[in-house]
Amino acid sequence: MTQQQPAPESFPTKKIRRPNKNAPIVVTPPSSLTYPNFSFDIEYRDTKTKARIGKLKTPHGTIETPNYIFCGTKGAMKNLSMPQMREAQADIILGNTYHLMIQPGADLIEKMGGLHQFNRWDGPMMTDSGGFQIFSMGHGSVADEIKGRGKNREKSLLKITEEGAKFRSYFDGRELTLTPESSIQIQRQLGADLIYQLDECTAFHNDRTYTEKSMHRSHRWGDRSLAEFARTHDGRQALYGIVQGGVYLDLRRESCAWTRDRPFFGTAIGGSLGGSQEQFHEIVQLHSELIHPGRPVHLLGIGKIIDVFTCVRMGIDTFDCVSPTRIARHGWALMRGNPEERINLRNAKYRDDPTPLDDSMDIPASTQYSKAYLHHLFKVQEMLALQIVAQHNVAVITRLMREVRAAIRAGTLDQLQREWLPE
């Protein structure tokens, strides 16, 4: 057996001098940046809402927006090959910097020609900065907090400093450090088209004092990310800035202004978005009035069907979420025309159901296997079930996005929502 090389203890970063160890690191970001191989052209705007149709051009192709970015967390889609993703009509995928820097490591992926060559995806790709995984795995997600999970889990986050985040590798226990500079360097090695500044993702339970302190540090990290990006900018990647501020609307306003005034290519909405649907909607709606109007807008980690309908009306251009493939592993199949969005194929009522998942779809995963067969596969723990339902779920979401774009143009988004989610 070949022994895996240990992960490095830290990643190279430029040493930045400051008056004392507690002083903020202030770096002047570039006043302007051009992105010669990228563009975002808004082709149509809804007259009643903020919904819009756009073309997002990257070196690996152009996608229409609104669109959905599927999460290939560790460089692979769960239970699906890239040809199967294409068969399901996926346009763009995402890789997670946090996981890829630990295994197999950015150096190896760069040696193999970058993530596109490594996993054989030939379309546009996004990578996050690694920040979300560091902080969510270090503290537990908001869902963990609400449901009381993870209380006895050993925390991986060791320390947040002005320089960056120190954490423990879940793979071999080594201490690692991620800084704004090293996050950009690693994302350069991975080679995705669309990349992110490093930020701290605060949770719902964080109070205002901490959230404000964290937001300002994320802004300083964003300026450092921009400076490092500009230092090695060669036209192959475009950088997104991230709005933070938690549930505090005045902080969100300040962070919107910060991203708008920096030369980012795109804007992402991150951090805690509230403890209820009403608060979530209020926060997202606020951004639509304040962020840069000409840049693509990405909503981080949100991707339920109802959220797509709600948030495209607020000007969101792209979404990402692990949900389509994650729920497939638990027997849940997404369904058009179901008020609950999905069905549980493990339920006994599907034991003798001869109907396919959706005979109006155009892939075998949706049309050629009965619910009874899929129920059987899940009951006997046959891995084929995960593959079939995962591809079906991806295809349902890509169909959703195509129909949403058509409905925005036709002015029939309300009608389409009723067709997908009948009351």
Split into its structural domains, the chain has a count of: 2
Same domain? 342 vs 403: yes
The 10 Å CB-count burial string (b at 16+, else e) for 345-356 is beeeebeebeeb
CB 199 within 8 A of CB 270: yes
Tens of pLDDT, residue by residue over 156-168, are: 787 889 999 998 8
So what's the pLDDT on residue 137? 60
Q: Can you tell me the distance from the alpha carbon of 88 to that of 364, in angstroms, rounded to the nearest whole number?
A: 10
Is residue 43's pLDDT more than 90? Answer: yes
Asked, for residue 3, whether it belongs to a domain, the answer is: no
Mean pLDDT of 36-40: 97
CB-neighbour burial class of residue 47 (10 A; exposed 0-12, middle 13-18, buried 19+) = exposed
pLDDT for 149 beyond 90: no
Helix (H) or strand (E) holding 52: strand 52-58
Asked whether residue 31 is assigned to any structural domain, the reply reads no
- In contact, 187 and 120? CB cutoff 8 Å: no
Sign of CA dihedral 64, 69, 75, 78: negative
Q: Are residues 332 and 273 in the same domain?
A: no
Same domain, 58 and 203: yes
Assess whether 259 and 167 both reside in one domain: yes
* CA 423/CA 74 separation, integer angstroms: 38
Based on the fold, state whether residues 407 and 349 are members of the same structural domain: yes
From CA 365, how far away is CA 393, in angstroms rounded?
9
Residues 346 and 227 occupy one common structural domain? no
**Of 263, 294, 321, the domain-final residue:** 321
Say if residue 220 is in the same domain as residue 344: no
Residue 27 in domain: no
Residue 158 is predicted with a pLDDT of 79
Asked if 292 and 143 sit in the same domain, the reply is yes
Q: Which residues span the domain enclosing 360?
A: 328-420
Query: Is 85 in the same domain as 100?
Result: yes
b vs e for 291-315, b when ≥16 Cβ sit within 10 Å of the residue's Cβ? bbeebbbbbbbbbebebbbbbbbbb
The residue annotated as part of the active site, out of 193, 199, 320, 358, is 320
Write the DSSP string, 202-258: --TT--HHHHHHHHHHHHHHHHHHHHHHHHT--SS-EEEEEE--TT-HHHHHHHHHH
Does residue 63 lie in a domain region? yes
- Considering the candidates 91, 128, 317, 358, report the single residue annotated as catalytic: 128
The verdict on residue 2 lying in a domain is no
pLDDT tens-digit map of 113-132: 999 999 999 999 999 998 87
Residue 29 lies in a domain: no
Higher-confidence residue of 57 and 176: namely 57
Res 7: pLDDT: 35
Q: How long, in residues, is the chain?
A: 423
| 21 lies in some domain | no
pLDDT for residue 17 is more than 60: no
CATH number at residue 60: 3.20.20.105
Residues 395, 267 within the same domain: no
Tell me, yes or no, if 320 is annotated catalytic: yes
Assess whether 99 and 169 both reside in one domain.
yes
Distances 62 to 67, 118, 339 between C-alpha atoms, Å? 11, 21, 33
Q: Among the three residues 321, 336, 357, which one is the final residue of a domain in this structure?
A: 321
Question: Considering 321, 353, 380, which residue would you say is the last residue of a domain?
Answer: 321
In this prediction, residues 323-346 reach a mean pLDDT of 98
Say if residues 80 and 391 touch (Cβ distance below 8 Å): yes
Cα separation, 123 vs 289, whole angstroms = 31
Whole-number pLDDT of residue 155: 66
Same domain, 309 and 358: no
Inform me whether the pLDDT recorded for 295 exceeds 60.
yes
The arithmetic mean of pLDDT across residues 384-399, rounded, is 98
- What global pTM score does this model have? 0.92
For the segment 215-273, what is each residue's pLDDT rounded down to a tens digit? Answer: 999 999 999 999 999 999 999 999 999 999 999 999 999 999 999 999 999 999 999 99
- In-domain check, residue 24: no
| pLDDT above 80: residue 15 | no
